[in-house]
A and B are shown apart, each in its own frame.
Chain A
Amino acid sequence: MTEMLRVSDLHSFYGESHILHGVDFVVERGELVTLLGRNGAGRTTTLKSILGLVDRRSGSIVLNGREVIDLAPHRIARLGVGWCPEERGIFASLSAEENLLLLPEFSSEGMSVEEIYRMFPNLYERRKSPGMRLSGGEQQMLAMARILRTGARLLLLDEITEGLAPVIVQALGRVVRKLKELGYTIVMVEQNFRFAAPLADRHHVLENGRIVQTVGKDELQAKQGLLHQYLGV
């Protein structure tokens, strides 16, 4: 296996607030790892820091062998990072299809629009609707679909199941499983542990801006009690 992402001693700041205090983790190509933790532990900030969306960051982020800590967000994205933000980030004044086609293609490895509509048939029916008219589930599907078109191979998925009906969560589970089969590397922030557990190769638990525990999928049974303690569930 080759390394897709190596985060070392990552510190991040919003204004004067020091949010991440030295985060370290590694993701191999084709792996799916989760970032778990309570609200405010620094999970979303970790994803945003990888893309350079915080005010200031230090440490090292190596993407596909390339140091990106000093690059601007658009240059990092163009190295093949797809981001699915927590608030979904659908542009309200653009139609569903404009949202889908908005993102530049970074490589020829991306899915074609036809493949995407096959994977998300609802989006095809709603393609002319303005972004603000889509339901939460449709917005989430669109937020996932549009990063698949770009050819990004590393997907950062932030709370994709949040606030969605169980049937949609199941559909998303099938999509994520499929993406993993297709060889995508995925870092997922997830509150819904039951959604994440069967999909992930490894779980990292964050607390106060640090990774305090790492649990592989084969240790899940043994360390369940510990995880519950950290997550307060």
Chain B
Amino acid sequence: MKALFGQLLLGLINGSFYALLSLGLSIIFGLLNVINFAHGALYMLGAFAAYVGLVQLGIGYWPALVLSPLVVGVLGLLIEVLLLRRLYGLDPLYGLLLTFGLTLVLEGAFQQLFGVSGNPYPMPAQLSGGADVRFMFLPWYRGWAVVVSLLVCFASWWVIERTRLGSYLRAGTENPRLLQAFGVNVPLMFTLTYAYGVALAAFAGVMAAPIYQVSPSMGSNLIMVVFAVVVIGGMGSIAGSIITGVGLGLVEGMTKYFYPEFASTVVFIIMAIVLLVRPAGLFGRER
């Protein structure tokens, strides 16, 4: 029994990271029409930025948690302004290729700098240890990772669906040209949306660092599953990408308990079935 709940907790953690990452991918694709293949590399970069801050510069866990997404967000600004902006209006394939290339460059550079093996990332003293809650052992850090990730997801959903700022994003996702003709600075929105999306990825990276260690390939291991999550959830629904992320994390965790050999494939099997039955995804709208 303890083993099952242990796997479910791990599934929930993975699911929260899937949710953070697919949320970012989804808003970026929705507005910019860019399939951001670099999302995994920027997740990795988030973890490394925190690693450098914490281990090499000694700035402490909490400042690293906040600063790393900011640093990666600024890098996102630069990527959008200097590179992606030139590709708008072309086939989305160009954006995919550019961001794929960026991924190779970033991962290669970090392998060169830090080697291929993982670097341990200490968790803060306040969150080490855990509690024995009757049916399982709950490590504090893992509980914290789930709660904070889901809070960030929920806050993003709330801002997008319920506020005026969010109404710009929703309108821009429908028709950016029209929105611009009404006086909204859409090019700036593109930049900020990309930055926010990749900052979410970096945040997931920092949260994941103490659980999975920090290594240059940590992003590419994860991003394939996240793309499957996005396909299953469907583009265009913020709540959909969050729910699908968490749900699939749990499904994966359960599979690890009941039929471990299957665990790394189950998401892709679900993806294939969803594509056959609902090509636009569980929550997606046909375009």
**Chain A interface residues toward B at CB < 8 A:** 51, 53, 72-74, 77-78, 83, 85, 89, 91-94, 98, 101-104, 106, 146-147, 150
Contact = CB atoms under 8 A, between A and B. Distances in A.
Contacts of B185: 74
Contact of B174 (A53, A78, A92): A92
Contact of B178 (A85, A93, A101): A85
B183 A106 contact: yes
Contacts, number: 61
Contacts of A106: 183
A98 B181 contact: no
Given A53-B177, A91-B175, A92-B174, A103 B167 contact: no
Contacts of A104: 182-184
B180 interface: yes
Given A72-B187, A101-B164, A77 B171 contact: no
Given A93-B170, A150-B183, 17 more contacts: A53-B181, A72-B187, A73-B180, A74-B181, A74-B186, A77-B181, A77-B183, A83-B182, A89-B178, A91-B174, A93-B174, A94-B167, A101-B167, A102-B179, A103-B183, A103-B184, A104-B182
3 A-B pairs with least C-beta separation = A77-B183, A91-B171, A103-B182
Nearest to B189: A74
A138 to B, nearest CB: 18
11 contacts: A72-B187, A74-B186, A85-B181, A89-B175, A94-B167, A94-B170, A102-B167, A103-B182, A104-B182, A104-B184, A147-B182
A111 B133 CA distance: 60
Name, among A74, A104, A146, the residue most crowded by chain B CB atoms within 10 Å (CB to CB).
Answer: A74
A78 B181 contact: no
Contact of B181 (A73, A93, A101): A73
Contacts of A146: 182
Contacts of B186: 74
Contact of B168 (A89, A102, A150): A102
A51 B167 CA distance: 22
A171 to B, nearest CB: 23
A85 B181 CA distance: 10
Name, among A51, A91, A103, the residue most crowded by chain B CB atoms within 10 Å (CB to CB).
Answer: A91
Contacts of B178: 85, 89, 91
